[in-house]
Structure 1
Amino acid sequence: MEDLGFLPYFVKPRSGWRYSRSFQTLTSPDALPMSPRPYTQVSDEALARLLRQGDMRAFEEIYHRYWPRLHSLAYKRLRSREATEEIVQDVFTKLWQNREKLVIHVSLTAYLLKAAKYAVLDCQQRELVRQNYREAVQQTASAAHNGTEEAVLHNDLHLQLQAGIERLPTQCRSVFRLSRQEELSMKEIATRLDISEKTVENHLGNALKKLRLSLREFLGGIAWVIASFF
């Protein structure tokens, strides 16, 4: 940032009073000791003309006149003192840096207020981008976490189910596997095992009952989860 060393203000930091000529230390004019202001009666149009010529005192007068209004406008929209002061400082910095190319079509007031509004919008857009990024990161992390938990639960449930199937009686286990894993009908199972369809139905009912009991404690009584496996 260009050092605007022509502003002879005393600024009071935490460590005490010190003399500063750096624009970066600009603060509210009300917080600064009174100093002679030779351009207090000069019109805005004349100040703008003098500013284009590089008149430091013209810039100082513009700063005194418009700092409160720009600060108020920005603070009402941002509700952040730090962001507001940064925006106001940026507006005045650009005003000085672009003084030779300064073109005001309406009035100095309208020019500065418009510059402040655009600076506020730019600040809000940057904050929105940062907020969206933070939310996207949080959602991604949450999804990854949830996905990991679901994968672990699914794997544990699968192991528990397989253990329950292995504990079934031989004929009962065969009927269950043919029904649920090979997706055979009761008639097809009866033909393959050379038993009646009624026997197939009984074996399948017993298998489901035993598996539900073995999974009840693991699933904490979540009936819909059990049903989804059968």
Structure 2
Amino acid sequence: MEQLTRTSFQDIYSLYYKKAFYFAKSYVHDNLVAEDIASESLIALWEKTKENPIDYVAPLLLTILKNKSLDYLKHEKVQLAAFETMADWKRQELSFRISALEACIPNDIFSEEINKIIHQTLAQLPEQTRKVFVLSRFRDKSNKEVADELGISLKGVEYHMSKALKLLRVALKDYLPFLYFLLEQ
């Protein structure tokens, strides 16, 4: 994991906004709320970097996102309880989302089980597809950098990434909310 030292908010935003947004959206089901939660979480992360270098950025960000999403969902549940005409299914669905988020343990996203599934899936990929994925997701290279390094077209990079992500989504279906955080860029 990378260490995040004193850095600009723009750098943090560029690296993590999209992942943070999709994670929050998978629980709150509202684009505007997810944008707010993602932005507030990134600001909180940035403020932490001003205090001390952070060795484990992703688990800290996920913890912040989890707490802010939980706060929103619990507030929404209180508001919905005030409307007695609300359908029971809506309450149950909201309770389910709250329970799922409360059960979320950010450090589990980096567990041996998930890493094992990822590495087994990557081992099944054709060599070129695996190289493209590793360069893009594990070495944080842009599609253009990957294309230049491997001597393939941008369309080729997109094809290989699409193929790898499709297989990983199937293999990691039980960890879907975390996939947004791990695999999206």
Structure with a larger share of its residues in helix = 2
Structure having greater relative contact order (Cα 8 Å, sep ≥ 6): 2
TM-score by structure 1 length? 0.33
TM-score by structure 2 length? 0.41
